[in-house]
Structure 1
Amino acid sequence: MQSSKRTRKDSAEKELYVEVCLFDQIPVNFALVEAAVRQYIEHTIIECLGLFDHSKTTNEVIKKNVKEIRIDADEDVVPLPISVKLDGVNHEPAEQIDENDDVASLNILPLPSLSLHGLWESLLFEFSVKNYLMSYASTALTFTLMQVDSQIVTWNRVVLLHGPPGTGKTSLCKALAHRLSIRFCNQFREFQLIEINAHSLFSKWFSESGKLVMKVFRNIRELTEDRQRFVCVLIDEVESLTAARTRAVSGSEPSDALRAVNAMLTELDRLKSIPNVMILTTSNITEAIDQAFLDRADIVQYIGPPGVKARHEILSSCVSELLKRGIIYVNGGAQGDYLSKMASDTEKDLLTKVAICSEGLSGRAIRRLPFIASTRQCGKSVELVTYLDMLNLAVVEMKDRLTSTACW
């Protein structure tokens, strides 16, 4: 859906980004849906950003085809027209397997995909890292589209997110790629997320890992030959392919690892001249990464454990989901966002206590806590206050297990 300028109640006229998700597997005329949504949005006062309630529309095209409308207006992003063509198909990644091996070296996922829908919104951080990354990616693509001379102004379209496990680095990379496929779908006909299986490059072909790295990137370059296809390449645990070469020189790493790093750096330099590709990487141990790779990254961003505010928001969203599904109940039958609007002081204090107590846990661990707490009742419904006490006990038990494991 192309962006349209609308006047919000509390601000001057600004560019809005309208994203539309369609119902599953319904044949649709995109132009017809776009026109219907555009007309509806332009004649509606936008109260706030985020999910837009279109339930009151009488337009049959919207009622039949549109599952969800989301409105955004990123302050820090260069405004560009956008279209959304979420066709409702939950694409599965296609594996590309080397003809001489049985291990997939690449997973290719067409974007946008319902498998990633909502992931961007679910990621919560203490600072505006999402806006920062979106601003960076939008700027890099804008420079490319405006044909800025890369020999004068240099950017490599390489991002490194680093930090402890479970903090959302990989999810953030995938969500960013998905978001770009929505934001820039008027600029490119097709988007793909290519996930490199770094470990497969050091299995049976260990003695020729440098050649295999070159082969994988040759396949990526072939995919980018179509300049109307934008490719996001995700390399998880990038230290596997970019280990510090000083260790190889000292003899602590095999020479074949050195060749793999050299091949990786060479291939990154080749991709620099290709305008329709972006490299997204993650690492848990940046001290093991070669300095030459760090120097090539436009952004080296630390992603740490969530702070107390982010922990509270994560837990609140989890509890709200369980309220909505009937796993938790409150007297009066309140559901969904009850915690943020109607919860008693006792209930709010209990949730705050859990958020404070969970300091040091990763976002992944915190999102697992509500399930662990529910196991005490074998999945049966439980009253909210009782459940929050159970959630606090689950935090204490998880931290005790982590501490005893570390001591062992």
Structure 2
Amino acid sequence: MSSSRRTYSSSSSLRDSTSRRRSRSPTRSRQDYSDQSRDKHRNNGRQSASHHDNHSRHHRNHREHDYEDDRSRRDRQHHNEDFRQESKLEPNINVVLRNLPDRAREVDIERKLNSMEASIDDVSLIKDRDSGESRKFAFIRFTSVGHAIQFVERHRTFDMDSYIVRVDYCKKTNVADDKEEWRCTKCGNFNPCSRRNCLECRESSSASAAEKRTYETETIEINDGTKDISSTPSKMLLLRQLDHLSTEESIYNAVHSLQGVCRAILIRDKLTKMSCEFAFVEFLDMESARLALDYCRELLTIDGRRATASFANQESFIPVYGQSEWFIPADTVDGLWAYWDKSAYASQYSFAIVEERKRKEEEQKRIKEEELKKAQQVKESLEDDLSAFYADMGDFGADEDANSDIFAVPKLK
């Protein structure tokens, strides 16, 4: 009995050790060996194709490099096109009116726009902070973007009291500034939330605070010449706050008696060709400009309006190449200048232009006198020929009977 128990124990321990050895390595089926063989074949295939892949990758890198060059060229072209298009303002609900009449009020502007069938929501006339005078531009908020687009497409410019008013979309600022307003329930006017009473009817905001609106603040820069002011002395002066009807010639005539004046340069709007109401006066040297500045600040009047004088920024005019109606001669030989603002251009009047105009007028006068003289000579020559002809005809008729017709056929005797 004990012998059989020992035999059973030894056989049992043998099975346990065998089972422990088998548990260390999992059993593999025929399918596992098949998969292992297939994976090995794949690895060998990958290794054999590595050289071919490296060779192909070398050529592909060249192609990709060429493609990247082409793409970079295309990107530069697109960037240049985008740069050319960035000056075009996108349509939006706010529109700016520039070159308004001096005495135009908000009610006058609103009345004019209503007569042009404009659907507007608000008119804001911009005034000078110090003097309170109109800066001659206003912001118009339409009832919708569609109404704004319809108005701008129909009226890029329009006449208002003999002023050519320019219409543009407002330019959005880079930073979104949410402006909140409340509508008055009594008159319907929108007011800033900082106000407790309506601007129009003085109604309290407590009864109207429930109806509000927000929108992005939109602005546009109006070039009135302030960016061209400089505290550094130069040989060029800047004259601002001129009359909108002042011309290059009238400005030059107002300053031509000053020492060392070369020319007057008026800045005009490219679209309307109207004056931007500021101009430059160039002198021969800096000392002449400095002496003239004292006089201009105290006594200079152009077309009945006092001008504001200062030194001009030397970078207001940019050297350019080629020919264009927007360029003027620079202060160097064969050089050209363009005004920095692309929406405006410089137009000059100078002593050289005056002399050239006089020379052309004298030349035209001389040519006209010569033509009149030649015409008189031709007339006199024709009269002499007619006189000789009639004289000959008179001698021919004297041989015949006094009553006979010179055109009659002679009679046979």
TM-score band, normalised by the shorter chain? under 0.3
Pick the structure with greater CA Rg: 2
More RCO (CA 8 Å, sep 6+) = 1
Identify the structure with the greater helix proportion: 1
TM-score (norm 1): 0.21
